[in-house]
């Protein structure tokens, strides 16, 4: 498993505004989109491509196109949905699947309550969107789900990660070479309620309000 922590002043600036409890949902949603587009640039570094011929107004030349079948983008509901637009901006042709996962606030265990994914992901490149990598429970369950469907390689894009979550993923998938985590920030720790510290609070609530 590979971990890539973005080290870019523009991303750091935008994450700082996200953290601010005064940032309203509308700005929060916009910033999440912008950060995801910036992270997606790094996350898609190894997206599969094929050589193509292209005729410019001057001459014929060789270019590059995304290979078929297109990558699959999977936001984890609810908060991952806020990251979808930013990802689609970069890969508009991507197929989109959905995975609804919720964690029990007492046990912190993740369970699946909805899924809308291709039944066969053999050979597919998958990009999982989940803003907060806290205990890692949700992402571990989601990754197992995709591997069981045959996913060839998986990249998880997160906004903020906790060291505990990264460690849990590393333990679970230590031999999994085709797994990458790309995160905008790696924070200090989890608190006793499973929230990332300093974090940004509940990403779903910050995006869509408390329900
Ligand atoms: N989920 C969130 O939305 N925030 C956290 O800090 C941890 C999990």
Q: How do residues 92-114 score in pLDDT, each as one tens digit?
A: 999 999 999 887 777 877 788 89
Non-local (6+) Cβ contacts of 117 within 8 A are 72, 74, 97, 98, 99, 145, 146, 149
Q: Please tell me if the CB atom of residue 158 comes closer than 6 angstroms to any atom of ligand 1.
A: no
Give the CATH number of the domain where residue 133 resides.
3.40.50.2020
Arithmetic mean of pLDDT, 59-78:
96
| pLDDT for the residue 152 | 86
Q: Please tell me if the CB atom of residue 128 comes closer than 6 angstroms to any atom of ligand 1.
A: no
Domains contained in the chain, number: 1
Arithmetic mean of pLDDT, 156-177:
96
The structure's pTM equals: 0.95
The residue segments making up the domain with residue 137 are 2-208
Backbone angles phi, psi at 98, to 5 degrees: -125, 145
Q: What angle do CA 169, 86, 138 make, to 5 degrees?
A: 25
Q: What is the pLDDT of residues 105-152, one digit of tens each?
A: 778 777 888 999 999 999 999 999 999 999 999 999 999 999 999 998
């Amino acid at each position: 498993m590979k971990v890539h922590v973005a080290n870019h002043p523009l991303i750091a600036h935008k994450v700082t505004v996200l953290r601010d409890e005064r940032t309203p949902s509308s700005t929060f949603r916009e910033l999440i989109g912008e950060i995801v587009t910036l992270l997606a640039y790094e996350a898609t570094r190894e997206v599969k491509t094929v050589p193509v011929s292209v005729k410019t107004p001057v001459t014929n030349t060789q270019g590059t196109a995304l290979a078929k079948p297109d990558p699959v983008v999977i936001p984890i509901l609810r908060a991952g949905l806020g990251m979808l637009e930013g990802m689609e901006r970069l890969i508009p042709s991507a197929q989109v699947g959905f995975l609804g996962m919720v964690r029990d606030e007492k046990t912190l265990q993740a369970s699946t309550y909805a899924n809308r994914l291709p039944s066969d992901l053999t050979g597919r490149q998958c990009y999982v969107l989940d803003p907060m990598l806290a205990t890692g429970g949700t992402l571990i369950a989601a990754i197992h789900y995709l591997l069981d469907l045959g996913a060839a390689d998986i990249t998880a894009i997160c906004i903020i990660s906790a060291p505990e979550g990264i460690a849990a993923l590393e333990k679970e998938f230590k031999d999994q070479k085709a797994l990458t985590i790309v995160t905008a920030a790696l924070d200090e720790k989890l608190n006793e309620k499973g929230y990332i510290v300093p974090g940004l609070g509940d990403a779903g609530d910050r995006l869509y309000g408390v329900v």
